[in-house]
Amino acid sequence: MEFFNILFKNRKIAMKLGRNDFRNRFANTSLGSLWGFLQPFVFMITYVIVFQYILQTKSAGEYPYVVWFLPGMSMWMYCSDAILTASNSIRNYSYLVKKVVFPVDIIPIISLTSATFIGAFLMLVAVVVSSIFGFIPNILNVVYIYFCAICFIIALTRFTSALTTIVPDFAQLLTILIQLFMWFTPIIWNLDFITNNTLSKLFRCMPFTYLVEGFRQAFMENSTIITEQNGIYTIIFWIITVIIFMWGNRVFKKTKKDFADVL
């Protein structure tokens, strides 16, 4: 496919600009890139303190709440940050669109690469903390879910980056939607809370639920996201991802000729 050919040919440029993008986010601060890791880390730890020690929220099964919570939250924070930054990337890199001949298709990948540095750090925190409690993750499952997350983010941001460029107000709507999805995704609450079987299945079909639960299950003994009763949800996840990519790719290709005019 044309997009993957462009991405492969320009992979080194995307990686280099992604590293620069991450450093430039905090270029005007004394601690620099350290803020990129410190802010989400403090955010996650605050949630742990509030829900585990103040509200005394219980996790699924016999697992400590911190082991149950951190994997899901780290995956969510990576996905939400990557989606929002990649969706606004073309406007942020408008000078590349207007003034030079540049493969516009890889611009969202630049922001995705930048967000991956923080996402990888948060996932490492989840691995280290869970290991301290004696829960060693299934590495193959971690790699698989990480791959799933990247594929879904690329698929979704093909559409959202194009629409945000053409319709700036969509960026505000997307921020609201991401906030809503955080609460509708079982990050700080357990899917077992839903007693209605139909509603429970509907929530499990959501791509964000698949990613959060999949990464969480990598830390649970004798359980993986693609075994037991999760096979159907794996199929549903990939069908949704492929459909979103095909739709988003069509929208992106149709609108990118107008990017320079609206920026």
pLDDT digits (tens, 9 = 90+) for 112-138: 888 888 888 888 888 888 888 888 888
Residue 173 placed within a domain: yes
User: Domain range spanning residue 211?
Assistant: 62-262
Residue 27 placed within a domain: no
> Which tens digits make up the pLDDT trace of 177-236?
999 988 888 888 777 777 777 887 888 889 999 999 888 888 776 555 555 556 788 889
Q: What total number of domains does the chain contain?
A: 1
pLDDT band (50, 70, 90) for residue 5: confident
pLDDT at 58: 62
Residue 217 placed within a domain: yes
Residue 54 placed within a domain: no
240 pLDDT higher than 90: yes
Residue 252 placed within a domain: yes
Residue 97 placed within a domain: yes
Mention every residue, 6+ apart, whose C-beta is less than 8 A from residue 197.
none
pLDDT at 230: 63
DSSP 52: I
168 pLDDT higher than 90: no
Residue 221 placed within a domain: yes
Residue 34 placed within a domain: no
Q: Ramachandran region of residue 111, left (φ > 0), alpha (ψ -120 to 50) or beta? A: alpha
